Amino acid sequence: MASLKRKLNEENCSLPYFEVHPRSKYNFSAAVLRRPMFIGDFSLNAKRQFCHDSRNLHYISIKWQIFKKVNYDLNVALDKANRKLFEETKNEKLDRLLEWILLNSFKFHTRESTGKPLKCLSTDFICFRGLLTQLLCTPYENEGWIVCATKFRNTIYLCAYDTPEKQTDRENETEMQKRMSAWGYKFEHYMTDGCDPSEGVEENEEYCCVVRSRLDNHSLVYGAEVDGADPSLYKTPHADLNAFIELKTSKELIRDADHRTLHKFKLLKWWSQSKLVGIPRVVCGFRDKEGIVHTLKMFDVEEMPAMAQDHWKPNIMLNFVKTFLDYVKSCVQVDNPKAVYKFQRKHNGDVVSCTYLGHDHDWTFLPEWYFEKVFKG
């Protein structure tokens, strides 16, 4: 009977729902997020090709305290920029992180498996940080999302997909929206030591760290794009990302509504992104409507929840993600690199649904070159 029930669950396309709201159900002592441990890094070049090195790690000197007055025109050389290839990045799925795992499979040995052929990664979940950031913010945001899951050798791989609404929004971006996106990359260019602002920005290059962490009972390995490091603090080898810095831009704080937007929405995202990789500081360039940054401000990540003035609570966010990962584990029973489960939250939705897709080639995201080689070394 148990095996029959399991088979029905695997084939049933309407598995139980998971509730996002009410938020109050997650308002208890926070699930513990273990301090992330740095286990490796890689870069992507201008053609989005994997490079097993730190060539695109930028250095960002911050020899000033809290505030600094500047005059950065984010419109400089925008016509020379090599714009981000969003269609290319969408098709990458987990591929670049999987390339890193293939080259670093030895880092997944446990004390018991050392000296023996690797049979599993001894990790519950593998994904990118952006997916976890989205999950952390879900109790306080209306945005819809799609996360697909595949279990292989007892590890669940999670991959984010664009919703139809997000794809439509990207295709219909206004020129102003495109310009504001380019401003973000240009701000990073200004902040990078040794860069010439008169040159165009290469938006496709990235530097990514790979970290290991644990959220309560769930072990996690995830990749995260990182903006740069303070050269006065950066030392190798290092076990954490304490020397690293996140860079952001935001409109100048003129009205009360601007302050509210910063505290309620922006700090929510900045805290989530930074907390997940143990980055202690965020530097924001506050710009006017013409794209001129007049002020830099340093934000301490640990102080952000207090600044949020109860607009959002970390314990609710962490407990939501922990409980959602419990749900994913309970749903994803088939251990097969070609089998996919789809978890979806609709725009403004109160629940997350799970659908077992089986071997649906439109959704399968673990490539053969990965699952045929990872345990053959």
Give the separation between CA 275 and CA 343, rounded to whole angstroms. 24
pLDDT of 11 over the 70 cut? no
Instruction: Of 77, 154, 83, 96, give the one whose Cα is nearest residue 122.
Output: 154
Q: Hey, what's the torsion of the CAs at 187, 87, 211, 303, to 10 degrees?
A: 40
Whether 285 and 295 have beta carbons less than 8 Å apart is answered as yes
pLDDT averaged over every residue in the chain:
94
What pLDDT score does 7 carry?
44
Phi, psi (rounded to 5 degrees) for 267: -65, -30
Question: Looking at residues 205-234, what average pLDDT do you find?
Answer: 97
**In this structure, what token pair is assigned to residue 86?**
């969003």
What pLDDT score does 4 carry?
33
Q: Which of 71-80, 134-143, 267-276, 368-377 has the lowest mean pLDDT?
A: 368-377
Facing residues of 215 across strands? 33, 218
pLDDT of 133 over the 60 cut? yes
Question: Looking at residues 234-260, what average pLDDT do you find?
Answer: 96
**In this structure, what token pair is assigned to residue 75?**
């419109």
Task: Give the model confidence (pLDDT) of 300-332 as tens digits.
Answer: 999 999 999 899 999 999 999 999 999 999 999
Reported confidence tier of residue 85, pLDDT bands at 50, 70, 90? confident
Burial letters for 97-121: b for 16+ Cβ neighbours within 10 Å, e otherwise?
bbbbbeeebeebeeeeeeeeebeeb
Give the separation between CA 87 and CA 207, rounded to whole angstroms. 19
Task: Give the model confidence (pLDDT) of 250-274 as tens digits.
Answer: 999 999 999 999 999 999 999 999 9
**Cα separations in angstroms, 137 against 126, 145, 243, 296, 314:** 19, 11, 25, 25, 10
Question: Looking at residues 205-227, what average pLDDT do you find?
Answer: 98
DSSP labels, 199-230: SPPBTT-EEEEEEEEEETTEEEEEEEE--EE-
Facing residues of 372 across strands? none
Give the separation between CA 78 and CA 3, rounded to whole angstroms. 60
What pLDDT score does 153 carry?
98
Check residues 63 and 220 and name the one with the higher pLDDT. 220
**Cα separations in angstroms, 230 against 27, 207, 243, 276:** 36, 15, 6, 19
Task: Tell me the pairing of strands 50-51 and 281-287.
Answer: unpaired
CB neighbours of residue 48 within 10 Å? 17
pLDDT of 10 over the 60 cut? no
DSSP class of 92: H
Q: Which of 78-92, 180-194, 280-294 has the lowest mean pLDDT?
A: 78-92
DSSP labels, 295-348: EEEEEEGGGHHHHTTTS--HHHHHHHHHHHHHHHHHH---B-TT-EEEEEE-TT
pLDDT of 39 over the 60 cut? yes
pLDDT of 285 over the 80 cut? yes
Q: Which of 61-65, 192-196, 245-249, 278-282 has the lowest mean pLDDT?
A: 61-65
Reported confidence tier of residue 15, pLDDT bands at 50, 70, 90? low
What pLDDT score does 377 carry?
64
pLDDT of 176 over the 70 cut? yes
What pLDDT score does 161 carry?
96
pLDDT of 18 over the 90 cut? yes
**Cα separations in angstroms, 281 against 232, 241, 302:** 14, 10, 9
Q: What percent of the chain has pLDDT over 90?
A: 89
Give the separation between CA 275 and CA 293, rounded to whole angstroms. 26
Q: Is the dihedral of CA 215, 343, 145, 159 positive or negative?
A: positive
**In this structure, what token pair is assigned to residue 102?**
């293939």
Facing residues of 342 across strands? 148, 355
Check residues 161 and 112 and name the one with the higher pLDDT. 161
pLDDT of 374 over the 50 cut? yes
